[in-house]
Amino acid sequence: MELKKAIFERRSIRQFTDADITPEELEMLVHAGIWAPTAGNIQPWLFFCVTGPEQIHNIQVLSPGMLGNPTALVCVCSDLNRAFEKAGEGGKTLALFDCAMASQNIMLRAHDLGIGSCVVRSFNQAAVRTILKAPSHVQPELIIMLGRPARVPNPPKRNEDVLFWEEYTEEGEGK
Amino acid sequence: MELKKAIFERRSIRQFTDADITPEELEMLVHAGIWAPTAGNIQPWLFFCVTGPEQIHNIQVLSPGMLGNPTALVCVCSDLNRAFEKAGEGGKTLALFDCAMASQNIMLRAHDLGIGSCVVRSFNQAAVRTILKAPSHVQPELIIMLGRPARVPNPPKRNEDVLFWEEYTEEGEGK
């Protein structure tokens, strides 16, 4: 798929059919994720692919922001040890950015593969870490719901007046 | 350009020719940014396109992480007022993720247009805000350097053992 099509036609999908996402597809998604930019090549990320219905359910009950019926999840986590070792106190914030850029690669690649996605931040991070049986340095940052789209929503309205030239003006640039 | 090509062949570019980036190209980049996912459609982002050599220089001296000779910058900022109004205290963190995902769209689209990019976090946020003449609720989060590539580095090594199935294991999944 053309990049532009992926960027502009990707929607946040919350209603899915019960068709599976294969392990090979999940590997392709994560592979797209790891080629996101990462400050100092730190790669402070870990990707948990979850396909078991019970495991998905357990995570979903901890995630008020996760509405819908995903058939797979990718939990994108920071490796806080790695982030701190390589970048000190600021490493945790760098890891947030890196995880988000990796997530965007994953969602674009999902759309490319005919897979719907929706990224969620509203969940109990410590509880999700426990469900993933992960140690304390693994911090769940974002969860990407995945599945075959059952319903594609219309594009949401986007503000176009968010572009400024050289410096701030009260009016913005209202393209 | 194919999405896959953009994802896998984008490199962080720090050496640029002196060829200009046009305003139309910058508008196309920002337009790609605003179609990133955004929690609750908050769109807590503002994009400052900087092309004046003096303005670029002024920002660069405040940015130890900005090595190279960009011909344009996009300063991706959070609108903290908007983030707080729409999402409360958590809105600031949501805005970080949204700005990062928008930045990834911008960098992929740049590559699609033959423009090199490198995203930078290491800068003095308050000082860059002052240079941009922006009010206190505008928080510079990431700066994307842009220019025509003069040198494309080899791909950095990426760790492939960052994928886990269902839950954490000491060994990871070592694809």
- Interface predicted TM-score (ipTM) of this complex, two decimals: 0.97
Number of neighbours of residue A78 by Cβ within 10 angstroms? 25
Closest among A100, A136, A129, A104 to A117, alpha carbons compared: A104
Which residues are within 8 A (CB) of A142 and not within 5 positions of it... i.e. 6 or more apart?
Answer: A75, A76, A99, A100, A103, A119, A120, A121, B97
Are B158 and A4 a contacting pair at CB < 8 A?
no
- pTM here is 0.97
Are B101 and A104 a contacting pair at CB < 8 A?
yes
Are A35 and B7 a contacting pair at CB < 8 A?
yes
* Angle A37-B59-B112 from CA coordinates, rounded to 5°: 35
Mean pLDDT of A119-129: 96
| Cβ contacts of B132 on chain A, cutoff 8 Å | 164, 167-168
Is the Cβ–Cβ distance between A3 and B29 less than 8 Å?
Answer: no
Over 70: is that where the pLDDT of A173 sits?
A: no
Closest among B76, B60, B73, B77 to B147, alpha carbons compared: B73
Q: Which CATH class is domain B3-151?
A: alpha beta
Q: What is the pLDDT of residues B38-86, one digit of tens each?
A: 999 999 999 999 999 999 999 999 999 899 999 999 999 999 999 999 9
Mean pLDDT of A101-130: 97
**Mutation for A interface: B71, B96, B166, B169, most A CBs within 10 A:** B166
Is the Cβ–Cβ distance between A83 and A95 less than 8 Å?
Answer: yes
- Nearest residue of A to residue B155 by CA position? A35
Query: Which residues of chain B have a pLDDT value below 50?
Result: 173-175
Is the Cβ–Cβ distance between A169 and B134 less than 8 Å?
Answer: no
Mean per-residue pLDDT of chain A: 95
Q: What angle, rounded to 10 degrees, do the helices at A91-112 and A23-33 form?
A: 130
Alpha helices in chain B (DSSP H): 3-9, 23-33, 53-60, 80-87, 91-112, 125-131
| Cβ contacts of A158 on chain B, cutoff 8 Å | 34-35, 43
Domain range list for chain B = 3-151
Q: What is the pLDDT of residues A53-94, one digit of tens each?
A: 999 999 999 999 899 999 999 999 999 999 999 999 999 999
State how far the Cα of B85 lies from the Cα of B80, in Å rounded to an integer. Answer: 8
Number of neighbours of residue A36 by Cβ within 10 angstroms? 26
Determine the distance in angstroms separating the CA of A75 from the nearest CA of chain B, rounded to an integer.
Answer: 10
Over 80: is that where the pLDDT of A172 sits?
A: no
Which residues are within 8 A (CB) of A54 and not within 5 positions of it... i.e. 6 or more apart?
Answer: none
Over 60: is that where the pLDDT of A38 sits?
A: yes
Q: What is the token pair recorded at B108? A: 């992929």
Chain B touched by A87 (CB under 8 Å): no
Q: Most distant CA pair in chain A: distance in Å?
A: 52
Which pLDDT score, from 0 to 100, does residue B45 have?
98
Which pLDDT score, from 0 to 100, does residue B170 have?
84
pLDDT band at A174 (very low <50, low <70, confident <90, very high): very low
Q: What is the token pair recorded at A48? A: 């948990």
Element housing B98 (H / E): helix B91-112
- Nearest residue of B to residue A105 by CA position? B7
Say whether A25 sits in a helix, a strand or coil: helix
Over 60: is that where the pLDDT of A175 sits?
A: no
